[in-house]
Structure formats: C-alpha cells, structure tokens
Amino acid sequence: MDSSREYDWSKKSILIADDELHNYIILEKAMKKTGIKIFHAENGEQAVKLFKENPDISVILMDIRMPEMGGLEATKFIRSVNRNIPIIAFTAFALSDDEAIALEFGCDDYISKPVRPDYLLKKINEHLTK
C-alpha cells in the first residue's frame, strides 16, 4: 500500500537536513505524492540558512550527526528563532540516550533510521496536523 496517497501536503513544506544523499533520495521519493515542498540541507549550517530564508517551513526532519554543524546545534539555533515549528530528530546512530538528548535540545519527536516510509509519513502528518 502506498500511504503517501493518503496525505495532501500541497500547502506545506519540509526541511530535510541529512548529509547522506542516499537517505535524502529515499525520503524525497516517499514524500513525492504528498505534494509537499521539500528543502534539503546537507549540514546544520545549511539547515539554519534555509530556515532563515524560508521561515514558513512547516516541519523539519533533522539528522543529528552531520558535518559543519550538527543537528542538535542547528535545532538549538532554530528554536531560538521559532519555538513552535515541529522538529523531528532523525538519526541512524541511535544510542540509548539520543532520544532524551534530542528532546532536551528542542526536538519534538525522534525517529531512528532506517524507518519504514509509511511510519515516517504518519509521524510527519501528526506534526503537520497539530
């Protein structure tokens, strides 16, 4: 079943901050049918820059471990500007305390990689419809 057909996010946008191009391509493919506008950052500095340039972004999917500036540092900066935007930590290196640390830094949710596309879309939808 293609769960992306269930969602109409044509008036929404997402910032995907992930330094692994392979991960981004999978995410982009999973979200294509939702109609969501996608911004891609390869590191935390780019994520902050894209967020500053596009303050109406609806949700952020933030990899924790990235070059230049990590996801937690980027989240902390974005939170200083916008307390309400949903930020979902998204990491492949799931350590036992990663979730608690991500939430402490201001993330609203936490998903570990790899993730099933239908689960990811469901989690994003929860934050877009709050």
Domain range annotation of the chain: 10-128
Both structure tokens of 7:
């969602």
* pLDDT one-digit tens code per residue, 93-128: 656 677 888 889 899 999 988 888 899 999 999 999
Both structure tokens of 9:
């996010």
- H helix runs in 20-108, sequence order: 21-31, 44-53, 71-81, 98-104
So what's the pLDDT on residue 100?
84
**Which one has a higher pLDDT value, 96 or 32?**
32
pLDDT class for 68, splitting at 50, 70, 90?
confident
> At residue 7, does pLDDT exceed 50?
yes
Task: Return mean pLDDT, the chain.
Answer: 90
- Topology (CATH) of 10-128: Rossmann fold (3.40.50)
